[in-house]
Structure 1
């Protein structure tokens, strides 16, 4: 494993590389997420491919740039990283949540660099539709107000690491407690970075705008694409458990599910899989499903016999 800071001119990005040679799989994490939670996925996929993961501007040890954090800017930053690293071959892109939206924007801008994609319960270019629905659902609007979340994150970005440790009191999730102690420490440390909250606030504020720009630039690909979506029934239950009325929870989750399903149309070779028994963080709760999706693509494109490794 190689870990380093790569200077792309406007900022430095923390990069982690596992394995060597082609093919190359790149993981784009979700908002507020790190590559550490992908440890099980990385361990398995790096047996058959090089896995490159990185932390976006402001995340981890990556420096916080001055630009607004649109998915276009993130895609441009990532392309610069690839250029500096001398990665010229088409890559397999794996994106979770907001990271999936970044992956879709990268594919719009640099389609020739995309060999295949795996989207993990990804935000959609139709995110603005979720915003409109949220505004119509009073309990959702009050409980999950984007403006309140953005204001909260901006407030946290002004705190010191010690202050964040007190305010957030970071704890490990059940799945994270299964990881090695070194990774557990990294996960806890990752959550008390003021720069990340600044980046997250900008990402969230501009997410719907980013999605609309993707829609304007959209051109269907012709590469293998697997879209993994969370269990719709579990999504409804989670919202109800958070105090959202059943009717609102059903409306919200139904729209989310339909938008994620539509992402399979990003490629003529796209397919959708609903992951039963999983909520949003499929890579954490059901890593075997993510591993299989990536390995299936490796087998299809590169004729790798996974069973031999």
Structure 2
């Protein structure tokens, strides 16, 4: 499909008290709209190696959460619950009708999980890319070095603070209902600074996310650190394509 001219539309849409930046790549061809959400403190550029390829098949929505990238800051609480509500309103104002196929990286995976739980009738598939498990703090963080833990706790300065982030994990835990949609979980198998014990635990916790749906699949990206979409973009691209095919 080389040589396909990918159509791009950009938007600045007011949601609550902030203008959010979004863009749509590609054209819908009787296929679900793919919506991508980035990790904590990151924005739409995180999908530069993936979105153009998916846009050859269907329309892809990329957006910057409030306070990130080209989007204005919001005075609203920065929790997943609030972000999901904002994304829902954004999609409505962009006149993008469901069904949506959701793709979330890291903290973006938490948001996409919550969106699927709150609006199940709008979602036809979910791809989690090294998504943050809801019990990360209790089970995983203690296995890491003191230095790692200190650095982790100090990173929450870009959007929600530490308390809001932990509140988001609690929100998605409370909404942990079994979904009836195709789910693919992709785990990074070569995480920087991880001991063998921590890496094995991470992969185990990623596999536990398969219980979110009765129709789930697990992929281990053996040569990837946390940003699988950069290290092994084809792994993510092919996973998304597979879910698109299921929904044709």
TM-score, normalisation: structure 2? 0.89
Partner of 1:230: 188
Q: 2:211 aligns with which of 258, 261, 265?
A: 265
Aligned to 1:4: 11
- What residue number does 1:32 align with? 41
Residue 18 in structure 1 maps to residue 44 in structure 2: no
- Answering whether residue 247 of structure 2 is matched by residue 289 of structure 1, we say no
| Post-superposition offset of 1:59 | 0.6
SS of equivalent to 1:144: helix
What is the CA-CA distance between 1:203 and the residue it aligns to? 5.0
Distance across 1 between alignment mates of 2:112 and 2:214: 17
- Higher mean Cα deviation, 287-296 or 17-26? 17-26
Partners of 1:282 and 1:103 lie apart in 2 by 17
Whole-angstrom distance in 2 between the partners of 1:68 and 1:140: 31
Aligned-residue offset at 1:79: 0.7
CA distance in structure 1 between the partners assigned to 2:161 and 2:129 by the alignment: 18
1:90 maps to 2:99 = yes
Q: Superposition pairs for residues 106-125 of structure 1, below 5 Å?
A: 106-125=115-134
Aligned pair count reads 238
Deviation at 1:210, TM superposition (A): 1.6
1:273 Cα shift?
0.9
**Partners in 2 of 1:203 and 1:295 — Cα distance?**
35
Q: Distance in 1 between matches of 2:224 and 2:215?
A: 24
State the alpha-carbon separation in 2 of the partners of residues 275 and 95 from structure 1: 16
User: Is the CA contact 2:44–2:69 (under 8 Å) kept in the aligned structure 1?
Assistant: no
Q: Do the aligned partners of residues 9 and 213 (structure 1) sit closer, same or farther apart at CA in structure 2, a change above 3 Å counting?
A: closer
| Greater per-residue strand proportion | 2
Aligned pair in 2 of structure 1 residues 143, 216: CA closer, same or farther (>3 Å)? closer
Aligned pair in 2 of structure 1 residues 76, 203: CA closer, same or farther (>3 Å)?
farther
Q: Give the conservation status (yes or no) of the 8 Å contact 1:25–1:92.
A: yes
TM-score (norm 1): 0.72
CA RMSD of aligned residues (A): 1.8
Give 1:91 shift. 0.4
CA pair 2-297 structure 1, distance change in 2 beyond 3 A: same
Quote the Cα distance in structure 1 between the aligned partners of 2:123 and 2:213.
11
Q: Does the CA-based 8 Å contact 2:38-2:46 persist in structure 1? A: no
Number of the residue aligned with 2:221:
275
The answer to whether the 8 Å contact 1:128/1:209 transfers is no
Tell me the CA shift for residue 230 of structure 1. 0.7
Q: Paired residue for 2:4?
A: none
Cα distance, 1:32 vs. partner? 2.5
Bigger Cα Rg: 1
Q: Contact conserved, 2:32 with 2:124, CA < 8 A, in 1?
A: no
Give the equivalent residue in structure 1 for 2:3: none
Please give the per-residue CA displacement for 1:33-84, whole angstroms capped at 9, x wherever unaligned. Answer: 2322322311111111000000001011111111221111111110111121
**Structure 1 residue 300: Cα displacement:** 1.3
Q: Which structure 1 residue ranges, 5 or more long, are not aligned? A: 154-196, 241-248, 303-309
* Alpha-carbon contact 1:29-1:96 (below 8 Å) kept: yes
